[in-house]
Structure 1
């Protein structure tokens, strides 16, 4: 993931910052409790494509 791209990407719902999870290949919005997938190096920033975080996920990514 390009570092400059990570700096400008925000959650499409709340416009908050995202945490990059390299091993899971996803961008996480803790306040919205959503994880956006990264496919072939491209972030898929669509609410319909995001997965909801489980009860133990999200904090301290």
Structure 2
């Protein structure tokens, strides 16, 4: 994931910062506890495509 792209992408729900979880190929919003998938190197920034993080899941550090 391009660092410059990460710098401008924001959560479409709360406009918060997204964190890249490389092993899971997801962009994580800590505030909303949503994980947006990355498919074919393209972030899918649709709320209905996001996965809700379970209470037992840790939010990755930056």
Bin for the TM-score computed over the shorter chain: over 0.9
In structure 1, stretches of 5+ residues that fail to align are: none
Q: 1:8 to 1:35 in 2, by over 3 A?
A: same
In structure 2, stretches of 5+ residues that fail to align are: none
Moved over 4 A (4+): none
Give the TM-score of the pair, scaled to structure 1.
0.93
Match of 2:44 in 1: 44
Give the TM-score of the pair, scaled to structure 2.
0.91
How many residue pairs get matched? 60
The alpha-carbon deviation at position 58 of structure 1 amounts to: 4.3
Cα separation, 2, equivalents of 1:58 and 1:45 = 21
